[in-house]
Amino acid sequence: MSEIKFGVLGQYFHCPVKGDFEYAAHALILVDQQGTIVSVLTDSDTQYHAQIEALSAHQQLIELSPTQYLMPGMVDLHVHAPQFPQAGKGLDLPLYDWLQDYTFPLEAKFEDMVFAKQIYPQLVQSLLANGTTSAVYFATIHKDTSVELARECLRQGQRGYIGKVNMDEPTQCPPFYIEPSTETALKETECFIQQVLAIEGNEEQLVSPVITPRFVPSCTAELLQGLGELVQQYQCHVQTHCSESDWARDHSQAQYGKTDVEIYNDFGLMTSKTILAHSIFLTPSDHQLIKSTGASIAHCPLSNMYFANAAMQTREILDNDLKCGLGSDLAGAPIPSIFHTCLDAVNHSRVREDGTSTYLPANERGEQGSRISFLEAYWLATVGGGQAIDAKVGLFQPGFEFDALVIDTAIADSNIFILEEMDSAKDKLEKIICLNSRQNIRKVWVKGQLVVDK
């Protein structure tokens, strides 16, 4: 057995089965020097008491209090790192105008390393403090500051998937924020991939490069073609926006006569490591193509309420077993917490189910049977996200990486109120999902490394 680094003794929640949960009251989770879970013991295991004694004697035992819960780390499949300064403002415009008026001018500033170094450390710190142990980031078109974001994730110990953004279509990109040429974009992307893979200290690939065409409107066909070739060469993850709004969907139809999924597939960008943010206007054949390629969807429920013009087919995506997780879409939505995103996902589905027009009878107002549950949302945030990034995270099982949080429900300024005699294990988990805030998160580990300790 590999050498044990530490053990955590206490209660935990996780969701091995979509829509269900497991609770263990007094588990002992053993983590090795590589940050991998070696075993999960309960008091019926013969080794349980001896292990506790041995770990305790060597100060390797972390014992949780009765109000503390171990939970898997959260996975954010869609974050725009440079938009952090924009979080909480400027959500008054539709997507196209929002990009042109607010977002592109802000992202253009990330050519400046001094500016980037002012923002990126704060963002990574904020996401970790909110329990995001893995994040899939869009950076900007600038290679050097995008590599700096990868370095920052590594410094702070976050599992990071980082993309240098690609956008070269002159009719869609402002002159101050566009690649110098298609050829340069491709060269810089290749160089970015190589530099991230070679960052000192990244031998275990805690941070990975992601090939990142922004979305169909902002990329020429030549750029999409070249990026598809890089995908074949480097077998990297891919991330992009997919059929996010009426405008984006119509633009793709007008230009190619195809859906975004079909366009990405034609250019070799649909693989089992592709993450499609939003994916609102999917056709039944898009569903099939996503499933057959093994690509994943990043559901961003709050941002969809601002930009999508329609509701997400979350119920169908879960029922069809498409790979799917959650994304905050910072700053198309303002909140850097995947716990909050779980609540948004449930709310989003409930509004879809109920409908909105008070002039229609209740049975004609919404889309019946389209809600998702809190447990399904939490599964998306942990297991679903882990599958999308192709990492063994999201569960407390031997062989999984120890990416975990300690939530304390009894801190002085907690919104979570648990009444032992009234709350079942499921009630407690739902309360944590709904009401957890940054203050409740006392410890965060990524790959067995303690990165937040309060």
Ligand X SMILES: Nc1nc2[nH]cnc2c(=O)[nH]1
The residues binding ligand X (CB under 6 A) are 80, 95, 99, 103, 214-215, 241, 244, 303, 307, 329, 332
Residue 68 or 103 having the CB closest to ligand X: 103
CB of 354 vs ligand X, minimal distance in Å: 25
> What backbone torsions phi and psi does residue 114 show, to the nearest 5 degrees?
-65, -45
CB of 167 vs ligand X, minimal distance in Å: 8
Name the β-bridge partners of 7.
30, 61
Residue 71 or 261 having the CB closest to ligand X: 261
In what helix (H) or strand (E) does residue 124 lie, and over which residues does it extend?
A: helix 113-129
Residue 329 or 401 having the CB closest to ligand X: 329
CB of 103 vs ligand X, minimal distance in Å: 5
Residue 39 or 146 having the CB closest to ligand X: 146
CB of 137 vs ligand X, minimal distance in Å: 12
CB of 388 vs ligand X, minimal distance in Å: 17
Q: Which pair of structure tokens corresponds to residue 317?
A: 């995506």
In angstroms, the CA 427 to CA 141 distance is 45
In angstroms, the CA 199 to CA 237 distance is 18
CA separation, residue 151 to residues 160, 401, 446 (Å): 9, 21, 16
Q: Which residue is nearest to ligand X (CB)?
A: 332
Residue 80 or 371 having the CB closest to ligand X: 80
Do the Cβ atoms of 39 and 398 come closer than 8 Å?
yes
- Burial pattern 16-34, b for ≥16 Cβ within 10 A else e, equals eebeebeebeebbbbbbee
CB of 327 vs ligand X, minimal distance in Å: 9
Q: Hey, what amino acid is at 384?
A: G
Residue 276 or 432 having the CB closest to ligand X: 276
In angstroms, the CA 187 to CA 230 distance is 10
In angstroms, the CA 407 to CA 401 distance is 19
Residue 241 or 315 having the CB closest to ligand X: 241
Q: Indicate the burial class of 339 (C-beta count within 10 angstroms; 0-12, 13-18, 19 or more).
A: buried
Residue 239 or 313 having the CB closest to ligand X: 239
Residue 27 or 123 having the CB closest to ligand X: 123
Residue 219 or 391 having the CB closest to ligand X: 219
CB of 99 vs ligand X, minimal distance in Å: 6
Q: Indicate the burial class of 393 (C-beta count within 10 angstroms; 0-12, 13-18, 19 or more).
A: buried
Residue 194's SS3 state is: helix
Pairing, β 4-14 against β 323-326 = unpaired
CB of 382 vs ligand X, minimal distance in Å: 23
CB of 405 vs ligand X, minimal distance in Å: 27
Residue 246's SS3 state is: helix
CB of 391 vs ligand X, minimal distance in Å: 24
In angstroms, the CA 364 to CA 380 distance is 29
